A and B are shown apart, each in its own frame.
Chain A
Amino acid sequence: MKITQNCSRFLLLVIILGFAMWAVLLPPAAQAKKLNVVTSTTDMAALTQEVGGDKISVESIAKGYQDPHFVEAKPSFLLKLRQADLLISVGLQLEIGWLPPLITQCGNPKIQVGAPGYLDASQFAEILEIPTGTVTRAMGDVHPLGNPHYWLDPDNGRRIARGIANKLAEMDANDSAYFQQQFQDFDKRLTAAEQKWDQEMQPYHGRKVVTYHRSFPNFAKHFDLDVIGYVEPRPGIPPTPSHTIELIQLMKRENCKVVLVEPYFDLKTPQSIGQATGAQVIVYLPSVGGEKQVTNYFQLFDYDIALLIKAFNATK
């Protein structure tokens, strides 16, 4: 009896001591000179890269061709978060299904929500589709704080980049002039590109489109397109036959000839809509990295605008 008791106490002691030793002997994580930034999505990573230049390293958790609502909270992401100095999220509950548990489990006090190393980028951007009135899940998987797909407007890109540059400058005061300089440079290039994009899209102002998910409002607002409907009957609810029929009728009535689909959705329903209405079905990219050749924020708009123009021209 005594022996088992002693035994269990001994075991206890060993466990506690083991952990204590660990804490003491563990070499303190080598302080890298570069700020280590982890972002939830590739778009935030691309914007961070623009303003951070070679003074930071940045990595995204989600891939550009992945549905950002349904990223899996893989333990391998914990390894990235453990090393991070700064975590940038899209916010507005886009990552609610997977980012909170990762943050809790990573054991990195620097990036806990509310800590200086946590940045919710939505605070910098113009947010659309903020629900008014009562919000219930009868509306589908609504985001009560507004539409989180806000980065597809170059003006928001500029605002987010400015916010990130300020944050980086705050965290690494020695390089703050560098980050501001990088932002000025990005701003200049973005303004030039924006003029070009605006010009290219000029002839198509007011054109009607349908998108699969509500991931397009900021792009549509900036380039003056009219999103008249969605393939999903409600956000997050897969297409139903009755809704599809209604949508086809609406598209015929409104003479809408373009259906935009995010790369992570099934093309079956959009294609049958395309056949019924004669509309072009195009897989547009909501995020950087959606296709291999789209590696930065500028290429994202280049790609989508070229795609849209081609579709508009083909359906005159």
Chain B
Amino acid sequence: MFTSITRMSTSFRIGLLAVISLIAAIPAYPQQTGTSQAASGQSDNAALQQKIRDLEDRLIALEGQVRLLKSQAASPTTPSAATTETAAQAVPAAPTTAAPLSQAQAISLGGAGGSAAKALNPDISAIGDFIAVAGHNPVQPSPSLEMHESELGFQAIIDPYARGDFFLSFGEEGVNLEEGYITFTALPAGFVAKVGKMRSAFGKVNTMHNHVLPWVDRPLVTNNLVGGEDGLDDAGVSVEHIIPAPKGIFLEATGQLFRGDSGDAQHPLFRASTKSDVSAVAHLRTYKDITESTNVDIGFSYGRGHNDAGSNFLTQLYGIDATLRWKPLRRSIYHSFVGRGEFIWSQRQQPPFEQRAFGFYTSADYQLGRRWFLGGRYDHSDRSEFANLTDQGASAVLTYWPSEFSQVRGQYRFTHYAGNIDTHELLMQVQFSLGAHGAHPF
């Protein structure tokens, strides 16, 4: 692969040189003949100009081909990151060591250099998430200063049939494979399948990585009923399909099957005591554009698995999520609004008897300007193991984006825990992203 590309670009270079020298030679020609015969000279001139234009076109087409070849080599399919650059300055056949960085070597993102050995490296990104907390919270204490998470992402197209995504999160205690899965993009009949470890499609917040949350923390209902920060995140198989629906409605069904271990240590959600204790999640998403700037997104989720009380004890989760988005297209980078809510019912079998808990959050985020966002959230949730205990809370959030690649956020959080414990906390967060340009969250 490497050698063939090098050979390709070398032959292109020769071709380019030939074309360039031709173009360079042409202007000299009319000077010699031009003056003597004015009339025929003019038509000659026009013909020559046409010729130059044609040559220019061919040169540009060649440049384009080289660019394409190179970017394909760099990341076989995505037009993203880790790419060397363009046309005329081809990659040196042998890596030059002592020489100053040549263009081809220098132009790179995500850590991959110009050397073709690195050309097939995945898009690499790192996202840092720093959190500082002030205020006393006896129920869910957080450290004062914390490098909460460092997420490493590796993403690439695997072959013509699939792409792969890895997200490793380094917390304060250790490393966790947050997600690592292959997505089969070329299945028949419009199916898309994922195999690996992934955040399950239960609702909205559960699918989100920390850095795309509109808040510093996760809602109380996530902590109490859906396995906390790690959430419903497990090894398994996911199949999704878009169902044809009338009137421009987008309808998508997702079915997922997991081993049956989810949630973090403090909030075990599902626990597989035997091999047959698998868990399953189903999600139906409906989406409709109301106008070009406004849309509604409603989802229904069901989750089912065995809990830490033993193989005989099931936890079932039912969820409804609703999102209303507004973003005027002409001023899309300045103003937007997102209102969301998730309502979750948990049915947990445990001795002596089943606990039925309910929880929800509602939130609104308004974009004040190109860099400023203001938001609020209301929380209300029973606890899954003690459904008669209810926590409530409210937050106000202000976010500032110096650029697309960094973010500073402040959140004031008031929580009224069951047992009349009131807490007031101030959370500050700094997030920053390195490397490949990721997709914008939607």
Query: Which A residues contact B (CB, under 8 angstroms)?
Result: 1, 4-5, 8-9, 11-12, 15, 18-19, 22-23, 26, 63, 65-67, 70, 72-76, 78-79, 82, 89, 91-93, 95-98, 100-101, 103-109, 112-115, 120, 122-127, 130-135, 137, 140-141, 144-146, 155, 159, 236-238, 263-266
Is the beta-carbon distance between B77 and A114 smaller than 8 angstroms?
yes
Return chain B residues, CB-CB under 8 Å to A78.
242, 250
Q: Is B46 located at the chain interface by the 8 A CB criterion?
A: no
New A-B contacts (16) at CB < 8 Å, excluding given A133-B106, A264-B330: A22-B189, A72-B442, A73-B442, A96-B79, A96-B80, A98-B442, A100-B80, A103-B185, A107-B192, A109-B185, A112-B185, A114-B77, A120-B79, A125-B60, A126-B63, A131-B107
Query: In the complex, A76→B293 CA distance in Å?
Result: 12
Known contacts A19-B239, A237-B403; decide if A124 and B278 are in contact (CB<8 Å): no
- Residues 400-419 of chain B, each 1 if its beta carbon lies under 8 Å from chain A, else 0: 00011100000000000000
Chain B nearest CB: distance from A150 CB in Å? 10
- Residues 280-309 of chain B, each 1 if its beta carbon lies under 8 Å from chain A, else 0: 101001011100100101000000100000
Known contacts A63-B292, A123-B67; decide if A70 and B78 are in contact (CB<8 Å): no
Is the beta-carbon distance between B255 and A18 smaller than 8 angstroms?
yes
Is the beta-carbon distance between A75 and B250 smaller than 8 angstroms?
yes
Is the beta-carbon distance between A92 and B79 smaller than 8 angstroms?
yes
Is the beta-carbon distance between A144 and B83 smaller than 8 angstroms?
yes
Partner of B86, one of A134, A146, A236: A146
> CB-nearest residue of chain B relative to A23?
B189
Query: In the complex, A138→B83 CA distance in Å?
Result: 18
Q: Is B10 located at the chain interface by the 8 A CB criterion?
A: no
> CB-nearest residue of chain B relative to A109?
B186
Return chain A residues, CB-CB under 8 Å to B79.
89, 91-93, 95-96, 113, 120, 145
Is the beta-carbon distance between B65 and A123 smaller than 8 angstroms?
yes
Partner of B190, one of A97, A108, A113: A108
Q: Is B49 located at the chain interface by the 8 A CB criterion?
A: no
- Residues 189-226 of chain B, each 1 if its beta carbon lies under 8 Å from chain A, else 0: 11110000000000000000000000000000000000
Is the beta-carbon distance between B439 and A98 smaller than 8 angstroms?
yes
Is the beta-carbon distance between A130 and B439 smaller than 8 angstroms?
no
Query: In the complex, A65→B57 CA distance in Å?
Result: 30
Known contacts A23-B189, A104-B185, A130-B86; decide if A76 and B276 are in contact (CB<8 Å): no
Query: In the complex, A89→B186 CA distance in Å?
Result: 19
Chain B nearest CB: distance from A101 CB in Å? 5
Known contacts A73-B439, A75-B250, A89-B79; decide if A127 and B311 are in contact (CB<8 Å): no
Q: List 25 A-B contacts (CB under 8 A).
A: A8-B276, A8-B277, A15-B282, A19-B239, A19-B255, A72-B325, A73-B439, A75-B252, A75-B297, A79-B248, A92-B79, A96-B80, A97-B439, A101-B439, A103-B185, A112-B186, A114-B157, A115-B186, A130-B86, A132-B103, A140-B403, A141-B437, A145-B67, A145-B86, A146-B67
Chain B nearest CB: distance from A116 CB in Å? 11
Partner of B192, one of A11, A105, A114, A236: A105
Is the beta-carbon distance between A74 and B442 smaller than 8 angstroms?
yes
Is the beta-carbon distance between A100 and B241 smaller than 8 angstroms?
no
Is the beta-carbon distance between A264 and B276 smaller than 8 angstroms?
no
Of B101, B248, B252, B442, the most chain A CB neighbours within 10 A belong to B442
Chain A nearest CB: distance from B68 CB in Å? 4
Q: Is B64 located at the chain interface by the 8 A CB criterion?
A: yes
> CB-nearest residue of chain B relative to A90?
B79
Query: In the complex, A264→B78 CA distance in Å?
Result: 27
Return chain B residues, CB-CB under 8 Å to A79.
242, 248, 250
Q: Which 6 A-B pairs have the closest CB atoms?
A: A109-B186, A123-B64, A113-B77, A107-B190, A97-B440, A75-B250
Query: In the complex, A135→B273 CA distance in Å?
Result: 52
Return chain A residues, CB-CB under 8 Å to B161.
109
Q: Is B22 located at the chain interface by the 8 A CB criterion?
A: no
Return chain A residues, CB-CB under 8 Å to B187.
107, 109
Query: In the complex, A237→B405 CA distance in Å?
Result: 11
Query: In the complex, A207→B107 CA distance in Å?
Result: 33
> CB-nearest residue of chain A relative to B186?
A109
Is the beta-carbon distance between B188 and A23 smaller than 8 angstroms?
yes
Return chain A residues, CB-CB under 8 Å to B87.
130
Chain A nearest CB: distance from B9 CB in Å? 15
Return chain B residues, CB-CB under 8 Å to A107.
185, 187, 190-192, 240-242
Is the beta-carbon distance between A65 and B439 smaller than 8 angstroms?
no
Return chain B residues, CB-CB under 8 Å to A23.
188-189, 191
Known contacts A66-B329, A76-B248; decide if A145 and B83 are in contact (CB<8 Å): yes
Q: Is B424 located at the chain interface by the 8 A CB criterion?
A: no
Return chain B residues, CB-CB under 8 Å to A145.
67, 71, 79, 83, 85-86
Known contacts A123-B65, A132-B103; decide if A15 and B437 are in contact (CB<8 Å): no
Query: In the complex, A126→B439 CA distance in Å?
Result: 27
- Residues 27-66 of chain B, each 1 if its beta carbon lies under 8 Å from chain A, else 0: 0000000000000000000000000010001001101110
Chain A nearest CB: distance from B113 CB in Å? 11
Partner of B437, one of A1, A96, A237: A96
Q: Is B144 located at the chain interface by the 8 A CB criterion?
A: no
